[in-house]
Structure 1
Amino acid sequence: MSALNDTKFNSAVFLLTGIPGLEGVHLWISIPFCLTYSISIIGNSVIVFIIETDPSLREPMYIFLSMLAITDLGLSIATLPTILAIYLFNSREISFEACFAQLFFIHSLQFIESSLLLLMAFERFVAICNPLRYSSILTLPRVEKMGLLFLLRSLAVVFPLPFLLKRFQYCRANVLFHSYCLHQEVMKMACSDIAVNNIYGLFITLLTMGLDSLFIFLSYVMILKTALSVASNTECLRALNTCISHLCAVLLFYSGEIGLALIHRFGKGSSPLLQTILGYISLLLPPLINPIVYSMKSRHLRAGIIRAFVKCRVSS
């Protein structure tokens, strides 16, 4: 036991990893990462700015979209320092405290994004299945309260994770497969019993993303049932067309999350390269694609962006 205690903090850092086997071209790989972050940050910032400044977009759908854009901004900012540090400066070290803080923000923001996708599915459900009561059900105060409730839920379930990890003894190589810290990977670096973390991590994932995805699925079953009952094919297609951008966001988010979760829990012999690629897909693609898809599919949002652009040109 004394030997184990002596090795508790044999290293005060974790070592992050870029793309395995491509260490010699990290500087070139940094170019698409820089472009991805630039587009993500600018795109989501523009959406937040347009929705907050355009009175015509103060509707539940756009308020939820602005919340989603803020969450995507947070995800980009949470992963940007370590990813770019690896590819630009070959700086792989991250302290325990910084690693625990990063994984707290990453997992909190992922759960918040899952909650917002559920709220957006609920908004589409009310708009299509009960349009006459839309204004009375989705009032602005109620929308804000729902957003706050799911924000607190996400923060509350993730809050214990850093403390559960801090109590462990780390006496292994501490080399992580990703360019950022995730709970399911950091806990495997411990030489203590991680059963509590395993159970709690699975529990909060099922409680948040599991329930959210189930309710999203049920919402779309009801939406499809209502749309198919409409007499006119044109009206049916128009109703379903309003859901396309949200469906793209849902599929993009959950496909990456589910794939990464399965790899971490059941893919012990899987390739590190596969883990790395799935990790980048789950964290970098949604903030990049969401603003592009919503800008293309939402006529009112697109008009707001054009108005703001024209106003900037006139004022200059």
Structure 2
Amino acid sequence: MSLSLNQTDRPEFFILIGVPGMEDIQIWFSLPVLIMYVLIVFGNVLVSYVILSEESFHKPMCLLLSTLSIADVLLATTTTPKVLSIFWFNSREISFGACLAQLFFVHAFSMMESTILLAMAFDRYVAICHPLRYTSILTNDTVAKIGIVAIIRGSLFMAPASCLILRLSYCQTNVISHSYCEHMAVVKISCSDITINQVYGLTVALLVIAVDILCITVSYGAIVRAVFRLSSMEARRKALGTCGPHFCVILISYIPSLFSSFTHRFGHDMPLHIHIILSNLYILVPPMCNPIIYGARTKEIRERILSFVSPRPPSKSL
């Protein structure tokens, strides 16, 4: 397909390849992608509905989990419908504006999730290290403010990245070797100097992911130190048990994110199709696993979900 440019060397649309080198068989990837997306929407909407509809769950950790669930659905919905349309209908065109919007929201929602995970780590820190001050430090109003900060933080960090793309020229190709508009995938096909874009992208990744991971590590270091000061083994087990779901979510969220970010910049020997598949899994796997982890590990939420999905029939009076 020919490259259509306007006066600023900006293409009217981009062409998304999907999974480069595997175009003939990528339709088979649509089944696991569809299944994961359905699980993401169903699981996260269910968890969020249960928490928001049950007044007993209107407490900071549960409200943060509900916020994370909403962000998970929005993140997956930003990319998955377009990915499936490529796999099913070979619908590879995406307008320049739509590509820029997709790029913005993919990374903004990812940063929002990171902010929420950091807030959840702080919640566990206060609950275990300063239990008597928990209700005064973490209130529902505080959670609402954290949600606003997450939105502002993700938007402010991604707005300059989008503006920096507007200055680039695309005089050689409008074909993106990816299944969605990822920041570096869009930047790399430009024929302009992309040094500023690369530096800004890496700086944001370090400022968000690295800083959040550092703060979470410090929080859990203090938690572990406080837990091992407890005299009762049962108290230690219970305290660590409340952190289990959150710690699992952190691992499945940050490990794929870091791997995807650094391989895109430094993993030149990695086959491109492997990187694209991993990038899609990074978008899908954490949002799919989060409600499963919390539903399985948090007793109150698990019991409420089970009663909602399989309500018990009313008992007959004698």
CA contact (8 A) 2:188 2:194 kept: yes
Alignment gaps of 5+ in structure 2: none
Letter of the 1:8 partner, please give it: D
Instruction: Give me the whole-angstrom Cα distance separating, in 1, the residues matched to 2:142 and 2:216.
Output: 19
Q: Is the 8 A contact 1:178 1:279 kept in 2?
A: no
Q: Percent identity?
A: 40
| Structure 2 counterpart of 1:194 | 194
The secondary structure found in structure 1 opposite 2:94 is strand
* Correspondences of 1:21-100 after superposition (within 5 Å): 21-100=21-100
| Contact 1:7/1:171 (<8 A) preserved | no
Corresponding residue for residue 170 of structure 2? 170
State the alpha-carbon separation in 2 of the partners of residues 313 and 282 from structure 1. Answer: 41
Flag the 1:198–1:26 CA change in 2: closer, same or farther, 3 A.
closer
Q: Matches of 1:21 and 1:146 in 2, distance apart?
A: 43
Matching residue of 1:8: 9
What is the CA distance between 1:57 and its match in structure 2? 0.3
Give the deviation of 1:122 after TM superposition: 0.4
Contact 1:50-1:304 within 8 A present in 2 as well: yes
- Aligned residue pairs total 310
How far apart, CA to CA, are the structure 1 residues paired with 2:186 and 2:258? Answer: 18
Residue of structure 2 equivalent to 1:185: 185
Counterpart CA distance in 1 for 2:28 and 2:142 is: 48
1:192-232 CA deviation, whole Å, 9 max, x = no partner? 11122122212222222221111011111111111111112
Partner of 1:145: 145
What SS does the corresponding residue of 2:172 show, helix, strand or coil?
coil
> Residue by residue, what CA displacement relative to the aligned partner does 1:218-256 show, whole Å, maximum 9, x if unpaired?
111111111111112221121111111111111111111
Name 1:275's counterpart in structure 2: 275
Is the 8 Å Cα contact of residues 18 and 180 (structure 2) preserved in structure 1? no
Q: Structure 2 vs 1, CA of residues 237 and 17 (structure 1 numbering), >3 Å: closer, same or farther?
A: farther
* 8 Å contact kept, 1:177–1:275: no
State how far apart, in whole Å, the 2-side matches of 1:275 and 1:171 are: 25
More off after superposition, 184-193 vs 67-76:
184-193
Asked whether the 8 Å contact 2:44–2:291 carries over to 1, the reply is yes
Do the aligned partners of 2:22 and 2:273 also contact (CA within 8 Å) in 1?
Answer: no
Following the alignment from structure 1 to structure 2, what is the Cα–Cα distance between the partners of residues 120 and 158? 23
Alignment of 1:277-296 (within 5 A): 277-296=277-296
The one-letter code sitting in structure 2 at the alignment partner of 1:223 is I
1:103 Cα deviation from its structure 2 partner: 0.6
Letter in 2 for 1:57: F
Q: Could you list the runs of 5+ residues in structure 1 that have no partner in the other structure?
A: none
TM-score, length basis structure 2: 0.92
**Which amino acid is 1:167 matched to?**
R
RMSD (Å) for aligned C-alpha atoms: 1.9
CA deviation profile, 1:49-108 (whole Å, cap 9, x unmatched)? 111100010010000000000000001110122110111112222121111000100000
Query: Distance in 2 between the 1:172 and 1:282 partners?
Result: 30
- More displaced 10-residue stretch of structure 1: 148-157 or 42-51: 148-157
* One-letter amino acid matched to 1:288: M
Q: Is the 8 A contact 1:78 1:102 kept in 2?
A: yes
What displacement does 1:183 show? 1.0
Alpha-carbon distance between aligned partners in 2 of 1:105 and 1:267, rounded to the nearest angstrom: 24
